[in-house]
């Protein structure tokens, strides 16, 4: 059964309702398949109209939607209003991409006269929609990565019907958002099965959806454990389907000695805010901070701990997320060589304590348990003796959404081969490498890459943010000697 829970009181609001049944899910998948071909042939203009109608409806219902989101998540009105604006913005960006006509047509090569291999026919490379996409909504972004979020927007822009599996942390909001999307679908004269919603508090709904024969692809944002299990199910189907999962990320931030020479206090303050933003429940929250040994590094770490000690994050999204957070930081506190710099052990308060724990690089490297993500307002400081230890720590971290390097913005002539090696290693493990600022905050742009090697993503060549997110749901097809009238449709 599903209940709408007040995030601040833990009390249920209103009546409960039943999970979607296996029959509900199978029917939704069949209905999506029945309209997939027609929706794939819908003009880019019509799909752009749908996305814009969705955005307008979200804005018109802003007050009610934000209030409902705040009740179920406790994230606060300023944060949620900003997230709603971001959600509408990304809908508009996908609509603009459709207006510009570059979504489906990739390359048109004219014929070349003569014998092969120099001569060739006209070859036109296009992209066609994969078919029905199952979207798993995230808990930490109730608008931007949820029912009407980026996965839904990019799949609809690509011409794929969508079945959203709502997150049980905000079930009433999910229903309200689905009503707005369904109204936009109807307004545009499209079949209702272009967008559908299923819900469930347990794992059965998600499993059934991934296994539904009509589902052609899955987009998932969530935990490593759940994502890996669903990815394995998608691969084990008699007809395996792509699973685009964002599963976990520690987002290392490297502080080079040159970054400690000036402005260290300001950097520490900005980093503390990033660690605790949204109670640390951002997929790009910096979780591992690499700092050189020595007095300047000591000063920076002391300043960071002081900043964190003054911050009080708000409550976490669910009781389960809070339990996992406390378990994770408890493992940090009791690791070999660990020094707790901020955050009380055994914190039982209603809101989590901002936590900072320090270990040496040697202790970090010999204890694999320290290399896992702790989702929440906490970071692990790893003190390094030399550049080679930074490289080893990055290698141990493995796949991550972001890596940040502070202190290499000087003159090119001053950049050493060690620094080049560090940047290269960062690009090997991360989907986005920053050289200023903090990793929290993901711009919706054509150049954005929000993904990375496993476990950051199950498909590291793809992104779930930015205009390239559509690429996940489009399959290349080569048309040979196609007539002009056909090519002009793309």
How far CA 147 is from CA of 151, 233, 387, 451, 469, in Å, comes to: 9, 23, 44, 20, 16
DSSP 197-208: EE--SSSHHHHH
The position carrying tokens 């027609």 is 38
User: CA torsion 376→378→383→387, rounded to 10°?
Assistant: 30
Question: Which helix (H) or strand (E) is 361 found in, with range?
Answer: helix 361-366
Q: Is the peptide bond before 117 cis (omega within 30 degrees of 0)?
A: yes
Q: Of 126, 128, 169, 125, nearest to 147 (Cα)?
A: 169
Contact 299, 260 (CB under 8 A): yes
3-state helix, strand, coil in the chain (%, to 5): 45, 20, 35
The position carrying tokens 């910096």 is 286
Q: CB within 8 A of 247, min separation 6: which ones?
A: 220, 222, 223, 224, 227, 228, 454, 455, 456, 457, 458
Residue 160 appears among annotated catalytic residues: no
Please tell me the distance from the alpha carbon of residue 110 to that of residue 113, in angstroms, as a whole number.
10
The position carrying tokens 């001569």 is 119
Question: Which is the catalytic residue, given 49, 72, 92, 246?
Answer: 246
Q: Of 198, 152, 219, nearest to 31 (Cα)?
A: 198
Question: Which helix (H) or strand (E) is 133 found in, with range?
Answer: strand 133-136
Please tell me the distance from the alpha carbon of residue 90 to that of residue 465, in angstroms, as a whole number.
9
Q: Of 324, 306, 322, nearest to 314 (Cα)?
A: 322
Question: Which is the catalytic residue, given 283, 326, 373, 389?
Answer: 283
Please tell me the distance from the alpha carbon of residue 377 to that of residue 374, in angstroms, as a whole number.
8
Contact 72, 169 (CB under 8 A): yes
First-to-final CA distance of the chain: 45
Residues forming the active site: 246, 283
């Amino acid at each position: 059964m599903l209940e709408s829970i007040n995030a601040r009181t833990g009390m249920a609001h209103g009546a409960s309702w039943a999970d979607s049944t296996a029959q509900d899910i199978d029917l939704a998948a069949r209905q999506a398949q029945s309209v997939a071909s027609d929706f794939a042939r819908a003009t880019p203009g019509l799909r752009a109209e749908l996305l814009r109608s969705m955005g307008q409806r979200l804005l018109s219902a802003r007050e009610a939607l934000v209030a409902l989101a705040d009740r179920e998540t406790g994230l606060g009105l300023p944060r949620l209003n900003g997230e709603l604006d971001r959600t509408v913005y990304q809908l508009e960006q996908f609509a603009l991409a459709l207006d510009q006509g570059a979504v489906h047509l990739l390359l048109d090569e004219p014929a070349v006269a003569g014998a092969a291999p120099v001569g060739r026919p006209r070859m036109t490379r296009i992209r066609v929609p994969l078919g029905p996409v199952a979207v798993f909504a995230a808990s930490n972004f109730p608008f931007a990565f949820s029912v009407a979020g980026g996965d839904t927007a990019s799949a609809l822009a690509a011409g794929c019907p969508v079945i959203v599996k709502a997150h049980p942390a905000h079930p009433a909001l999910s229903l309200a958002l689905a009503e707005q999307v369904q109204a936009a679908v109807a307004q545009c004269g499209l079949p209702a099965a272009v967008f559908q919603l299923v819900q469930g508090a347990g794992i059965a709904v998600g499993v059934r959806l991934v296994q539904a024969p009509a589902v052609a692809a899955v987009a998932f944002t969530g935990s490593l454990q759940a994502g890996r299990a669903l990815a394995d199910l998608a691969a084990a189907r008699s007809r395996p389907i792509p699973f685009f999962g964002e599963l976990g990320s520690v987002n290392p931030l490297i502080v080079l000695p040159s970054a400690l020479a000036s402005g260290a206090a300001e950097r520490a303050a900005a980093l503390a805010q990033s660690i605790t933003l949204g109670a640390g429940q951002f997929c790009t929250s910096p979780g591992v901070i690499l700092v050189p040994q020595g007095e300047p590094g000591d000063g920076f770490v002391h300043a960071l701990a002081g900043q964190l000690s003054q911050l009080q994050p708000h409550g976490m999204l669910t009781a389960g997320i809070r339990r996992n957070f406390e378990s994770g930081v408890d493992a940090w506190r009791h690791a070999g060589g660990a020094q707790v710099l901020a955050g009380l052990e055994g914190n039982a308060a209603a809101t989590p304590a901002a936590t900072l724990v320090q270990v040496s690089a040697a202790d970090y490297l010999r204890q694999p348990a320290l290399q896992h993500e702790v989702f929440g307002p906490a970071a692990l400081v790893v003190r390094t003796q030399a550049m080679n230890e930074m490289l080893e720590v990055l290698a141990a971290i493995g796949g991550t959404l972001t890596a940040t390097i502070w202190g290499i913005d000087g003159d090119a002539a001053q950049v050493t081969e060690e620094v080049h090696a560090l940047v290269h290693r960062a690009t090997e493990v991360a989907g986005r490498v920053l050289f200023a600022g903090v990793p929290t905050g993901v711009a919706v742009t054509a150049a954005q890459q929000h993904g990375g090697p496993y476990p950051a993503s199950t498909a590291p060549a793809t992104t779930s943010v930015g205009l390239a997110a559509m690429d996940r749901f489009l399959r290349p097809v080569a048309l040979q000697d196609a007539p002009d009238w056909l090519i002009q449709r793309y």
